[in-house]
């Protein structure tokens, strides 16, 4: 595997480093630790600071030294026999530099921290993390736990979920972990409170039929995924839930005690940006555990060392 770990000295980056240090990487893994240094001349030449300070060079030297120290500490933390580790400080805007570095390194995985801390602040994802997930050319793991012991897979039967399932099935860092497959059945409520009684009764019957069919379809999805993952004695559970997909997935991570949720997403490519599906973005924002997002455009080479890899509610 080729893994890019982005650090910036924040507590979130520390969690990502601890997670990278806890993973039993396969022999031959190449792990690159990076930090991005903004161009200080551009910063001090902005409208609110029209003149660069006289000691700009000294300030920049101090910043470089601090980031080199952070990178060196992370390199030391993740080093072990059989894994090649290198560190570097690169110039550029943080999110752009990470995405570019992932492409240049041909990374299979990007790891970075989340700025959220605590029950309320977990709803806030750092702008760098969000942008990297949107644009990275490979799967991105946003770390909120320093270890991965229990893995949850969100599976809606879509091709995007199949890509995520392939990583949970085949990646050496995931395939031995106890897993739980969660599929969420959802059917829009087809009536308003003020409809006529007979129309309301018909709508309720139609809703019950549609919901039962959705439950059945998602149960088949979850059962197939269970059978695909439950090999070599790996403990696997599966669950079908009903409701809002994002809300139910986040609740399931709490109830099952997941350290990591793996979710596929259909990235939509446009001229200005690449957007995650709404369910994946909501899970990324609100899940209390680490989140691994597998986007459609980001998996062509992600499982080159392992054989990796139906449509319901798109994630």
How much of the chain, in percent, has pLDDT values that exceed 70? 76
Q: Please give the Cα distance from 71 to 50 (Å, whole number).
A: 31
**Structure tokens, 100:** 């570019």
Evaluate if residue 205 carries a pLDDT over 60: yes
Evaluate if residue 276 carries a pLDDT over 70: no
Computed over every residue of the chain, the mean pLDDT equals 83
Evaluate if residue 229 carries a pLDDT over 80: yes
| In 53-120, beta strands by DSSP E | 84-91, 109-113
Confidence (pLDDT) at 198:
47
Evaluate if residue 55 carries a pLDDT over 60: yes
Residues 6+ apart with CB under 8 A from 255: none
Nearest-CA neighbor of 280 among 143, 127, 108, 156?
156
pLDDT in tens, 143-170: 999 999 999 999 999 999 999 999 999 9
pLDDT in tens, 2-37: 999 999 999 999 999 999 999 999 999 999 999 998
Confidence (pLDDT) at 303:
43
**Placement of tokens 């979920």 in the chain:** 161
What pLDDT band is residue 315 in, cutting at 50, 70 and 90? very low
φ, ψ of residue 275 to 5 degrees: the values are -110, 140
Evaluate if residue 111 carries a pLDDT over 70: yes
Confidence (pLDDT) at 271:
33
φ, ψ of residue 314 to 5 degrees: the values are -65, 135
Q: Please give the Cα distance from 221 to 155 (Å, whole number).
A: 7
Residue range 76-80: average pLDDT? 96
Show the CA angle centred on residue 175, arms to residues 245 and 303, nearest 5°: 85
Report helix, strand or coil for 239.
strand
Q: Which helix (H) or strand (E) is 298 found in, with range?
A: none
Classify burial at 311, counting beta carbons within 10 Å of its beta carbon; exposed 0-12, middle 13-18, buried 19 or more.
exposed
Confidence (pLDDT) at 191:
53
Report helix, strand or coil for 261.
strand
> Residue 4's beta-bridge partner residues?
32, 110
Q: Please give the Cα distance from 69 to 66 (Å, whole number).
A: 5
Q: What per-residue string of b and e applies to 132-166 under the rule 16 or more CB within 10 Å gives b?
A: bbbbbbbbbbbbbbbebebbbbbbbbbebbbbbbb
Do the domains spanning 1-146 and 148-315 agree at the CATH topology level?
yes
How much of the chain, in percent, has pLDDT values that exceed 90? 61
φ, ψ of residue 150 to 5 degrees: the values are -135, 130
Locate the domains of the chain by residue range.
Answer: 1-146, 148-315
Q: Please give the Cα distance from 47 to 33 (Å, whole number).
A: 33
Q: Please give the Cα distance from 72 to 44 (Å, whole number).
A: 28
CATH topology of domain 148-315: Rossmann fold (3.40.50)
Higher-scoring residue by pLDDT: 179, 66: 179
> With contact defined as beta carbons under 8 Å apart, do 20 and 111 qualify?
yes
pLDDT in tens, 189-200: 655 555 555 455
What pLDDT band is residue 234 in, cutting at 50, 70 and 90? very high
CATH topology of domain 1-146: Rossmann fold (3.40.50)
């Amino acid at each position: 595997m080729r893994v890019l770990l982005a650090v910036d000295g924040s507590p979130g980056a520390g969690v990502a480093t601890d997670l990278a240090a806890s993973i039993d990487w396969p022999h031959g893994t190449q792990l690159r630790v990076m930090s991005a240094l903004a161009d200080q001349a551009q910063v001090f030449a902005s409208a609110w600071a029209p003149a660069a300070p006289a000691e700009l060079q000294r300030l920049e030297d101090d910043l470089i030294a601090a980031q080199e120290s952070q990178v060196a500490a992370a390199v030391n933390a993740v080093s072990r026999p059989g894994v090649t580790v290198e560190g570097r400080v690169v110039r550029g805007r943080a999110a752009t530099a990470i995405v570019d570095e992932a492409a240049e390194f041909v990374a299979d995985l990007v790891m970075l921290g989340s700025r959220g801390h605590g029950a309320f602040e977990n709803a806030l994802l750092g702008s760098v993390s969000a942008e990297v997930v949107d644009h990275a050319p490979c799967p991105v793991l946003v770390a909120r736990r320093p270890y991965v012991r229990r893995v949850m897979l969100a599976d809606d039967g879509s091709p995007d979920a199949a890509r995520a399932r392939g990583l949970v099935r085949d990646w050496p860092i995931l395939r031995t972990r106890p897993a739980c497959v969660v599929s969420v059945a959802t059917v829009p409520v087809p009536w308003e409170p003020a409809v006529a009684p007979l129309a309301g009764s018909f709508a309720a019957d139609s809703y019950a039929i549609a919901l039962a069919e959705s439950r059945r379809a998602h149960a088949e999805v979850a059962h197939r995924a269970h059978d695909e993952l439950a090999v070599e004695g790996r403990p696997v559970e599966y669950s079908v839930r009903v409701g809002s997909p994002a809300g139910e997935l986040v609740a399931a991570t709490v109830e099952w005690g997941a350290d990591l949720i793996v979710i596929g997403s259909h990235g939509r490519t446009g001229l200005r940006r690449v957007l995650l599906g709404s369910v994946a973005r909501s899970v990324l924002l609100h899940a209390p555990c680490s989140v691994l997002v597998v986007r459609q455009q980001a998996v062509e080479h992600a499982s080159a060392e392992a054989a990796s890899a139906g449509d319901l509610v798109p994630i």
